[in-house]
Structures are given as C-alpha cells and as structure tokens.
Amino acid sequence: MAIASGVPVPEIYVLEQEAGINAFAAGFTPSDAAVVVTRGALEKLTRDELQGVVAHEFSHILNGDMRLNIRLMGVLFGILVVGLIGRKILEGMRHARDSKGLGPIFLAALAIMVLGYVGLLIGRVIKASISRSREFLADASAVQFTRQTVGLAGALKKVGGLAQGSKLEAGESEDVSHMLFSDGVGFSGLFATHPPLLERIQKLDKQFDPRQFVDIHKQWGGNVDVLAFDDEMALAGRSGLAGASPKRAAPPALPGADSQVRVEARAVSRQVGNPANDDYRVADQLHHQIPDELKGAARDPAKAESLMLALMIDPGTHAVQLRLIATALGDQTAQLANHLGASLASVHPMMRLPLANMAFPSLRRLPRPRLDQFTAVLERLMHVDGQVLPYEFCLATLVRVQVADFLDPPNAKAVGRSKLTDCREQAIGLLALVAEQGHDNRADAERAFQAAAAVLFQGQALPYQPPSDWRGFLDQALPTLDRLNATGKQLLIEALVRGISQDGLLSVPEAELLRLVCAALHCPLPPVLSL
C-alpha cells in the first residue's frame, strides 16, 4: 500500500497484549508515520479483512488525519491543564493558616477550574464530531483503494460479533480513542468518536442483518487458525465470512524501460494522495518482482544505507564513489553497496523509488550522527563526476526532505498557504527545467514550456529561460514551492506534466523524475500515472 501511495513505508507495531480487534495510525507526516494493529486483529481477521483495516489506516495517513488527531490530543490536554491549575490552587488553599483575604483568590481558582473542565467537556464533544466524519471518509477511501467492501465489512462484523470487540485494556485508551479503527472505549452519543458500528457495516453491506452477529460469534469466538482459513477460502474462490470474493483482474503490464506512456495532466494531479485499485495491483506486481535480496536489504537497518547509496552509484564512476563511501562510512558499507549495485542494474527503473521508500523506515533507526553522515555522503556521491543527473539530485533531495520531516515533524507542512503569485519565479523556472529535461531540442522544449506556463499564467507571454545552475535553483525553488496551498500545488503538477511530456507522452525516466519532484513537494504519486 505504501508503494501504491508513493510514500515511505510506515513503522509497523503490534499491541501484543490486546485481544480486541483494533488498529490506528500515528505521526505528523508520512515520513514519521506508524501503523499499529492489535494481536486480536492478527488472530481473528482474514487477509482480506486485515487488508481493509490497513487500507482504512492508510487513508488516515494520506488524508492528514494523523496530524489532526495529534493536535486534537494536544489541544484537549492544554484545556485540561487549565482545569488542573485551578484545582491545584484550591487544594493548596486548604492548607493555608490564614484564610483572611483569600476569598477573591478562591473565586478566581474556582472559575479557572470550572472553565477548564467545561472547556474539556466541549472539546471532547468537538473531537468526537470531527473523528466521526473522518472515520466515514476513511472507510470510503479504503473501499476505493482496495476496490472491494468484503474485507472492511468483515472486520467490522467481527468487531460487533465477538465478545472482545474492539475494546482496549490499556488505561490510557480514552486519550487516543479518536485515532482508533473502531471505538476502543465504549463512548456513545455526543462523546462517541466513531459512527455507530451497525451504520458503518450497512454502508458497506446493505443486506446485513444484526442477527448475523450470533453466527459470527459461533464461528470465530473460539480458537481459529486464520491462516489455514485463508488458504481454504482461496482454494474455494471465496473470501472470508462475507462470501464470494471479487474477481481479481490482472495488473496492468509495466511499461518497458525505454517506452513512452500516454498521460493526461489533470488525471495525474488527481492521483496525488489518492491511489486507486489499479495502483494497488501495480504496486503488488512491483513488490513481487523486486528481488528478495533487495527487499531484505531495504528492511535491514544494517543494510538499508548501503542500498540507498547503491541507488546513487553511476557505472562510469563507481570506483571513485566506492572509495568515497569506504572513507566516510567504512569498507563493509562500501562492499555491500557495490554488491547491491550489481543487483540493482537488472531491476526495472520503476522499482528504484519503491525500494527507497521501503528502506526509509530502516534508515530512521540509524543514530542521529550516522544519519547526518549518511545524507552528507549521499550528496557528495552526486558530484563525483562533476555532472549531476536530475534523477540523482531529486533522489538525494527526497531523502533529505524525508529525513527533515522525520527529525522535525511539526514543521513538515504538507500543504502551505502561499499562492502561485508568491512563487511565480520559482514555478516558471521549474517548468522551464522540466521542459528542457523532457525534450531533445530547444524548439520542442520551448513549445512544451509555453503549454505548461499557460496552465499557471494563462494569457501571459513568458520567456523560455531554463536555469543555468539547475541544482542551485532547485535547492532554493523546491522548499519555496512546497509552501504552496493545495490549489497551487494541483495546478503546478498539471503544468509539470504538460512541460515534461511531448503530445501527452512520457518516458519511464521522465515519469520517475516527475514522481521524485512531486514527492519532494509532498505530493506523492502512485507508480503508474493516469491516462
């Protein structure tokens, strides 16, 4: 799902002591996201059902709900502190020897305490209302993502049918109730953080009868080998307790490394943070075709940095680059990078960015000094031959952006407030640069630039002047353009597609360059761009 979304793979955790069926996503940005599931979810849910739950949590990641959830927790705690201050003042006054003149202080402390607790009550009602609306959106997004309702509906049915339901035993579960897949506390009415369970189920399965909860309890209430059940259902062509599974279409074939694909600018912009079923199936195909050795390296903290360095190694200068790696990070890192580089030579270009996103959770586990050292070496590898390719630069920029988001998540703004008029110079320069990279001669590049510029600045005649120092330009332009508002980013992506393609055709290297630029702007694109 991370490959289909074009975002780094999140950290994965299991709440081993929780028998209830639940899950949640946490973090400020996709670069520091974590997805957590309970042991009960792993033991009671089939593959399709677990897929539906994880797709639900991924929608929270892509829709920015994690950031909203954590801010809600902070606001509510801040209001609670006001009430606690008033209460502590009142408690302190009980021990005062002389109560003369304390009347005004008592009234002020009482007012502060009442204000804090009333504010907390109102805040929890607001939190619950926001959470309910986001849960409906997440359910809808999960269905769009997996293109089936069987899995998500099945998971919700088991929550309602099994004795443990979604309840969490941890004492602090109320604080995170609005982040959970299903209500883990038991609130109802105004304080309910989730829509009624039956309503969620019947939006997915209109024929569902609540009396079926009894049958679900009989079938799944005891110990069931869910993996064996999955195998049995697969052989029978069925999917879990919900009956026949939808017929799975063959995934679209990957375009050849030297081929061109037809794209449409507006359709591509709609894919940002909005993967569909085809994207999931292509991602599944990419994942299975990546050699096991490279996938293993991406998941191993001891090998992930060597894999990322191998992605930057140029066959023409690999000897010099390997010496640089050995000097900075050690001979073992350089030898492993050289070995992995040989394996990378045979993989499809579309697998390189997914590999980088798979490796990022392992990179995050490096000590801070080593992480700083690694990013510095990654930058130096680009300059070994004096000719930095746009792909190399954008990959290094993407890693730098993801590391910055991880180390300082509160300042990682996925959507800013700037308008295109505030970033005019940077937008024009970027369009000129991608038009130049996407065409072999100046005349075609200039025509593409004018078509792209018309998307942003219609009716204005703009000179075609690609930046001479494109690396320095991108270093300054990308952070500025990252502060654009949502509408500005949407138009910019449509213009970029126009500028980098000729007659709507895009080569695989150009598509990967576009995806890297968009990822640096916090606009992740799926592996295959839309027609």
Spot the catalytic one: 57, 135, 510, 512. Answer: 57
Max distance between CA atoms of the chain, in angstroms, equals 90
Structure tokens at 296: 């293993």
Residues 6+ apart with CB under 8 A from 221: 162, 163
Strand-pair category, 260-262 with 505-507: antiparallel
Q: Tell me, what DSSP letter sits at residue 180? A: B
Q: Looking at the DSSP assignment, which residues form a beta bridge with residue 24?
A: 36, 180
Rounded Cα–Cα distance for residues 335 and 477 (Å): 36
User: Cα torsion at 334, 335, 338, 342 (round to 10°)?
Assistant: -160
Rounded Cα–Cα distance for residues 191 and 199 (Å): 17
Q: Tell me, what DSSP letter sits at residue 333? A: H
Where b means 16+ CB within 10 Å and e means fewer, 89-117 reads beeeeeeeeeeeeeeeeeeebeebbeebb
- The secondary element (H helix, E strand) that includes residue 11 is strand 11-15
**What are the strands of the beta sheet with 11-15, ordered from one edge?**
11-15, 34-38, 23-26
Q: Could you tell me if 370 and 14 are in contact, meaning their C-beta atoms sit under 8 angstroms apart?
A: no
Rounded Cα–Cα distance for residues 134 and 167 (Å): 20
Q: Residue 369, exposed/middle/buried by CB under 10 A (0-12, 13-18, 19+)?
A: exposed
Name which of 296, 311, 380 is nearest 345 in CA terms: 311
Cα-only R_g, the chain? 26
Rounded Cα–Cα distance for residues 307 and 510 (Å): 23
Tally of CB atoms within 10 A around 526: 23
The string of DSSP codes covering 481-510 is HTTB-HHHHHHHHHHHHHHH-BTTEEEHHH
Rounded Cα–Cα distance for residues 319 and 381 (Å): 11
Cα dist from 53 to 48, 230, 234, whole Å: 9, 16, 19
Active-site residue, 57 included: yes
Structure tokens at 243: 């009956």
Q: Could you tell me if 188 and 174 are in contact, meaning their C-beta atoms sit under 8 angstroms apart?
A: no
Name which of 369, 378, 405 is nearest 305 in CA terms: 378
Q: Which residues are catalytic?
A: 57
